[in-house]
Amino acid sequence: MSILVNKNTQVLVQGITGREGAFHAEQMMKAGTKIVAGMTPGKGGQMAQGVPVYDTVKEATHHHRIDASIIFVPAPGAADAALEAAHAGIPLVVLITEGIPTMDMVKAVAEIKAMGNVRLIGGNCPGLITPGECKLGIMPANVFKRGKVGLISRSGTVTYETAKALSDAGYGISTCIGIGGDPIIGTTFKDLLPMFNDDPETEAVVICGEIGGSDEEDAAEYIKAHMKKPVVGFIGGRSAPKGKKMGHAGAIIMGNVGTPESKLAAFAAAGVPVADTIDEIVELVRAKLG
């Protein structure tokens, strides 16, 4: 088992004829992902990466069973692409694009949440992977080995480092989700924890958080009340000055919101040990799982 994606997940790539879309479609296929169709407006009827390309998402869903869509559309059209996928009835939409105008995301996330039956992940995220079965993202698949730790992260490279460390130590990953570094994103930590709670393959969860916002605090509240499995935390950007945006648009401390102190206190109150380094994440997982 795993969460969200597995070997049967049939995938549509929006923006498959672009440079990024084409490159990553190929990489995803190599990692075992079942890509069944692509979509680029105006390129319908062509073939790309060995799959048919459609003009609209609706046409693609008419000809194929699509379980998930991954979006490589440039920022000006990215939120619109996510809405197109959602309105075509695709239940899982992964938005990789970075630099999307914030108001576009505010509107798209509000609309998609109101629909109630679509899970949007991202934008500005590396996507997700169930190693050996399905990669719906841009992460290097070779550092992910299949195993028993669920991994959720707001960053890209820290996720890869953590996945590699957990894989090298023999624990491996059940499913890993990079939720994205923007202030307005479709899925937060607390949305994913219940799924890991119910997944028999996942024995522990690692949350790689960072400064800014209050997703870590919300996650801690859920963990305290409901989580049946051990959780290990990590907070990036603990040395960052206030009011400065640290690369990720969401990684900014505003007033007293988003501080590392608040996140550490929330994790402590929920009994979640917090690692200071990525190597320490592995040690804390070892302490929980043996």
Partner 1 sequence: MNLHEYQAKEILAKYGIPVPPGRIAYTADEAKQIATEFGDTVVIKAQVHTGGRGKAGGVKLAKTPEEAREKAGQILGLNIKGFITKKVLVAKAVDIAKEYYAGLILDRVTQRVVLMLSKEGGVDIEEVAAERPEAIIKHAIDPHKGLRPFEARELVKRAGMEGNLNKLAQILVQLYHAYEGIDASTAEINPLVVTASGDVVAADAKIVLDDNALYRHPELSRLREEEAEHPLEVEASNYGFAYVKLEGNVGIIGNGAGLVMYTLDLVQRVGGKAANFLDIGGGAKADIVYNALKVVLKDPDVKGVFINIFGGITRADEVAKGVLRAMDEGILTKPVAMRVAGTAEEEAKKLLEGRPIYMYPTSIEAAKAIVAMTGGAQ
Annotated binding-site members for substrate: 160
Please, are residues 281 and 165 in contact by the beta-carbon 8 Å criterion? Answer: yes
Closer CB to partner 1, 39 or 207, in the complex = 207
Binding residues, as ranges, are 17-20, 43, 96-98, 160
**Would you state the structure tokens that stand for residue 97, as one six-digit string?**
């694009």
Contact 30, 54 (CB under 8 A): no
Give min distance, CB of 67 to partner 1, in A. 25
- SS3 state at 245: coil
Question: Smallest distance, Å, CB 82 to partner 1?
Answer: 14
Q: Tell me whether residue 16 or residue 109 sits nearer to partner 1 (CB atom).
A: 109
3-state secondary structure of 173: strand
Nearer to partner 1, 148 or 248 (CB): 248
Write down the least CB distance from residue 140 to partner 1, Å.
4
Q: Which is nearer to partner 1, 6 or 214 (CB)?
A: 214
CB 174 within 8 A of CB 202: yes
Question: Which of 150, 164, 130 lies closest to 28 in space, CA to CA?
Answer: 130
Least CB distance to partner 1 at residue 172 (A) = 18
Other beta carbons less than 10 A from residue 209's beta carbon: 29
Binding positions for partner 1, rule: CB under 8 A: 75-76, 99-104, 106-107, 109-111, 113, 139-140, 143, 153-161, 164, 181, 183-184, 208, 210-215, 236-241, 244-251, 255-256, 276-279
Sign of the dihedral defined by the CA atoms of residues 102, 20, 192, 204, in that order? negative
Q: Which residues make beta-bridge pairs with 210? A: 236
Respond yes or no: is residue 248 known to be catalytic: yes
Give dist(CA 274, CA 176) in Å, integer.
19
Catalytic (active-site) positions:
248
